[in-house]
Structure 1
């Protein structure tokens, strides 16, 4: 029961006095103001709750959008590198093929060299079609640990090769922008 209701019950019980006392008028005015303030505070509370719920909704929506973007990016990256394991398994075969090509070209049998060269090119073109690229590093380039793996250092054959790549022992390959095998190099010091 509200204060105003209590006050009205008390004044209705006092029926012999029909004129309102100025104090009673003042009390009634104060009670009306309190009731209005209570209504405003309830309205303000509802406005605050609504603002909080809107804020929660906006944050949840933004979080969901970020989740969608992240999973889409991860899915695209997965599709780009889906062949990575297969291609990594094929790299030693490609290396063996390169070594075989070198030895066959030394043998002098031109028909054998030509036939193996065709097969070698077909294998390379198939791997390139699947996204494999060779990391371009050659002797004389500056050594960068982000793109090559130094396996040893040897005394530089000349002054201009100090701190640079002297020899490439194993070729490096990348799939898209990601290096899947770093080239192994020898550095001069």
Structure 2
């Protein structure tokens, strides 16, 4: 009978060992599964966080751009008035009325300085400059008065203006062909 008992003990120990190994394997499997889920959730969190940071940056940039160009419509509406002042100054300068010329010049300067303080800048295009369609609008072409004016600005019909880096009215020019 001793032999029977001795024969049964290793089998029981083996069964215990196998069940312990199965439990350990199951625990490792569950732990690996939990680690995988944790990694997925961590990745999801990092992506969501990065997306939120991008959203914050984008909305901050949009807000800054909005403040920069908030006056655009008002400034665009004022540009014809500024043009009229320029034409009036040319005509009044032809007359002999110095007092009226001085008064109109003062009002013109005040209006111009106010618009400049709000961010308005003149687009610098003058006769003789190389024509660049990114910064000027060609309204017509005329035969060039001289060979050196071919493909260049011959006359500026209407001044152009920009607000910050954005051109709100392109200068209208005549180019030589």
Counterpart residue number, 2:84: 96
The alignment partner of 2:132 has SS state of coil
Matched, 1:67 2:55: yes
Counterpart residue number, 1:49: 37
2:170 is aligned, of 173, 182, 185, to 182
CA–CA separation in structure 1 for the residues paired with 2:143 and 2:41 = 70
Matched, 1:152 2:157: no
Q: Please, what TM-score do these two structures have when normalized by structure 2?
A: 0.93
Counterpart residue number, 1:14: none
1:78 is aligned, of 55, 62, 66, to 66
Deviation at 1:119, TM superposition (A): 0.5
Count of aligned positions: 173
The alignment partner of 1:173 has SS state of strand
CA–CA separation in structure 1 for the residues paired with 2:48 and 2:64 = 24
Gapped regions of structure 2 (runs ≥ 5):
none
CA–CA separation in structure 1 for the residues paired with 2:135 and 2:21 = 77
Deviation at 1:28, TM superposition (A): 3.2
2:93 is aligned, of 101, 105, 112, to 105
Deviation at 1:150, TM superposition (A): 0.7
Counterpart residue number, 1:129: 117
Deviation at 1:22, TM superposition (A): 3.9
The alignment partner of 1:141 has SS state of coil
Deviation at 1:181, TM superposition (A): 0.4
Task: Give a deviation string over 1:34-82, Cα, whole Å, max 9, x none.
Answer: 2211100100111111111111111111111110011001001100111
The alignment partner of 2:75 has SS state of helix
CA–CA separation in structure 2 for the residues paired with 1:164 and 1:121 = 30
Q: Please, what TM-score do these two structures have when normalized by structure 1?
A: 0.87
CA–CA separation in structure 2 for the residues paired with 1:150 and 1:26 = 95
CA–CA separation in structure 1 for the residues paired with 2:140 and 2:17 = 95
Gapped regions of structure 1 (runs ≥ 5):
1-16
1:142 is aligned, of 123, 130, 134, to 130
Task: Give a deviation string over 1:112-145, Cα, whole Å, max 9, x none.
Answer: 1111101110110010011101001100000111
Counterpart residue number, 1:6: none
Counterpart residue number, 2:20: 32
